[in-house]
Chains A and B, each alone.
Chain A
Amino acid sequence: MERQRSILVVLVLAGLGFLAVALRLVHLQVIERGDLTRRAERQQEQVLRLEPKRGTIYDRRGRELAVSLDTESVYGVPSEVDDPRSLATRLARVLSQNPAELQRKLASERQFVWISRKADPESAEKAREMNPDAIGLKFEARRFYPKKTLAGTLLGFTNVDNKGIEGVELLFDRELRGEEGWIVAEKDAKGRTVFPGGHGLQYRLPQPGKDLYLTIDEVIQHIAEKELDRGIAEHRARGGVCIVMDPRTGEILALSARSTVRGGQVFNPNSPQRHRPEEWRNRAVTDSFEPGSIFKAITAAAALEERVAHPQERFDCSAGNIRVADRVIKDSHRNGVLTFTDVISQSSNVGTIKIAQRLGKARLAKYIDAFGFGKKTGVDLPGEIAGMVKDHRLWSGVSLASISIGQEIGVTPIQMAAAYSVIANGGELRRPTIVSEIRGPNLSQENRSPEVPAGRVISPETSATLRKILQKVVDSGTGQKAKPAGYTAAGKTGTAQKIDQRTGTYSRDDYVTSFAGFVPAAAPKLVIVVMVDSPVGEAWGSSVAAPVFRAVAEQSLTYLQVPPDDVGGRMLLVAR
């Protein structure tokens, strides 16, 4: 009896044990099934990102300016490393990296660590050979700028993940980048990637980025950069900008922006980490300056369009100065009685102010707005500013006079190029463009230029009259050093005093010198704006910026095979 009871107890206990196991199984297999399945998948599966190929950037003739190239990136699998310290020391030597940092990565608990992204192929292979189980190579696209510093500030650059950080690379990042792909892979017990065969493979292929065709011409860009650099070096200036634009379409053919502040170097997008932000900043759109006398062309355009003065009308500038409110504004040298044309060609402040006084605040302000000042041009570059234009209702007693000669107003070089294009093309404001076409991988095409004109600013007659006046500036006025050999040219010199940051007043020895104009004068093909910041010594637009204009115009027109239109002097005209 006693024995039977013991057997019964053992059986009951065993039964309860089995019941507990069965219940636990039901709990795991039924109740917690979903959660546990997900956990298992998380542990066994990994989603690998497939990087798309970034689009290429070409110049207007299809020459490569930015390309993507497959390069090796070195990664490590820490679980496979027996001696992190020794491996880190050897890797550091080959890959020129910090050994302590590498040791920390290789000793970590992670399954995957980057050792060196986008290394050179030889070093990467040497690193892999050190321990093929623990060190692997992965191909990644690296951005490369084959023309080195050419158009560097305009192109911008990308970071290590191929994301646009500056310039065209930033503004068109979405188009250039493409769409990332992915593939679901399984991990084995050691964390190595295993791709399931057959139909089990889940993936989406990456979509390559689109290609950009710029309006920039590589050769004209080189000419603009070379001549601007020469001008900056010759006059020991702090920087400068040179823009070459087609006035009929608004297409920018060259845009060079330099900064030599604190020993700055020419920006090379292949190694952005070696440069300071001011070296890659595109001053043509991000900085405004007081334009000085080159703005007189705008005042003249407004006066001619409003018919408040005639080109041959005379203005008495013999006093050499004019009192406006509490301020006396002087001419750089004493002139006599000047015609309207001579007021501009001799760059008389007194004459220009007298013309502006006939216009009045509201009408001058209307033309400042119509020429596109005080608002962004919409050029395809990031960081553009609107400049500084005060509402004419807030102008002081001296503002009309100051603004008419290019003071008390902040403009960007790109705005000035667009405004001179209006004078050159017969009176229409066009949006400056950098990108002409975006091409998809399936040859889909998106044309971006020529643009519809933003609006008519002045009549073709006013434009033609003003072109003749500005041609006189180059032929016999202040801009004679801007005259290219064999071609007619029109434009205006500018020398603007900078504000002294310490005193808050105009500096006596710090200037922005500029020249804005177009060539050939009668049928303009190119608008060229040159701005040189803080030249040392003889700081006049006529002696600093005008020679740069001349050199850029001469070489660019020859390159574009524009026949000379000024065949005087010793040149020979042959008819056949």
Chain B
Amino acid sequence: MNTRTGHIGAFPLEAMKNNSVRRIVLAGIAVIALMTYVGGKVQIMRLGYQINDLEKKKQELERSNRALQIEASSLSTPARIEEIAVKRLGMVRPPKENIVVVKRRSAATGTAPADRVQRPDDRVPNSR
């Protein structure tokens, strides 16, 4: 006949110890999970703010880029360019005697064609 030996009274104490450890572990896991969750949330929020700030900055830069483009456009008005050319750079229109008209010799006849030959498209340019 087999019999059990040992301290019967030690069983409940050990069980209680084990339970506490388990609770502490579980609580630790819960705290870590909570901290991870909260940390993640905080990180998301922080990134959200960062995105928001960067979006705003991007919009501002786009606006200022557009404003600069328009400023460049205003600075390139023909009136201003002409004024700088004439007044600041001292440019003048070439006098008649300095103009040389060059006509290409026609390949077939060897004579100069009557009309212009430089621009294949005869219409007023409309290029973009």
Contacts and interface: CB of A to CB of B under 8 A. Distances in A.
Interface of A: 58, 60-64, 67, 69-70, 144, 146-148, 150, 213, 215, 217-219, 222-223, 226, 246, 248-249, 251, 253, 436, 485-486, 523, 525-526, 560-565, 567, 569-576
Nearest to A147: B77
B128 interface: yes
A147 B128 CA distance: 18
A150 B78 contact: yes
Given A64-B70, A144-B70, A150-B79, A486 B99 contact: yes
A571 B74 contact: no
Contacts of A213: 128
A222 B78 contact: yes
A556 to B, nearest CB: 9
B118 interface: yes
A249 B123 contact: yes
B92 to A, nearest CB: 13
A570 B96 contact: yes
A562 B116 contact: yes
Contact of B127 (A61, A215, A436): A61
B1 interface: no
Q: Which of A150, A218, A486, A563 has the most CB of B within 10 A?
A: A563
B115 interface: yes
10 contacts: A61-B125, A61-B127, A69-B63, A217-B124, A218-B78, A563-B118, A565-B115, A571-B99, A574-B101, A576-B102
B60 to A, nearest CB: 10
A218 B97 CA distance: 29
Contacts of A567: 101
A62 B118 CA distance: 23
Contacts of B79: 150, 222, 226
B53 interface: no
Given A486-B99, A564-B99, A246 B123 contact: yes
A569 B19 CA distance: 117
A454 to B, nearest CB: 19
A526 B73 CA distance: 27
Contacts of B73: 63-64, 67, 146-147
B119 interface: yes
B74 A148 contact: yes
Contacts of A62: 128
B58 interface: no
B105 A575 contact: yes
B118 A561 contact: yes
Q: Which of B67, B70, B97, B101 has the most CB of A within 10 A?
A: B101
B57 interface: no
A562 to B, nearest CB: 6
Given A58-B128, A246-B123, A561-B119, 13 more contacts: A60-B125, A69-B66, A69-B70, A147-B73, A150-B79, A217-B124, A249-B123, A253-B124, A564-B101, A570-B97, A571-B100, A575-B103, A575-B105
Contacts of A486: 96, 99, 101
A563 B96 contact: no
B101 A525 contact: no
Contacts of A148: 74, 77
B51 interface: no
A490 to B, nearest CB: 16
Contacts of A572: 99-101
A70 B99 CA distance: 48
Interface string B92-118: 000011011111110000001001111
Interface in B30-71: 63, 66-67, 70-71
B78 A573 contact: no
Contacts of A525: 124
A222 B74 CA distance: 14
A64 B96 CA distance: 34
B80 to A, nearest CB: 9
B124 A560 contact: yes
> Nearest 5 pairs between A and B by C-beta?
A222-B78, A62-B128, A146-B73, A146-B74, A563-B116
A526 B66 CA distance: 36
Nearest to B74: A146
B5 interface: no
Given A61-B127, A150-B79, A67 B70 contact: yes
A571 B71 CA distance: 42
Contacts of B70: 64, 67, 69, 144, 146
Nearest to B96: A485
B126 interface: yes
A226 B102 CA distance: 30
A64 B76 CA distance: 10
A469 B125 CA distance: 29
A67 B72 CA distance: 13
A70 B96 contact: no
B128 A61 contact: yes
Contact of A571 (B66, B97, B103, B124): B97
Q: Which of A63, A146, A150 has the most CB of B within 10 A?
A: A146
B108 to A, nearest CB: 15
Nearest to A219: B78
A166 to B, nearest CB: 21
A440 to B, nearest CB: 16
A256 to B, nearest CB: 13
A253 B74 CA distance: 20
Contacts of B77: 146-148, 150, 222
A560 B126 CA distance: 11
Contact of B66 (A60, A70, A226, A575): A70
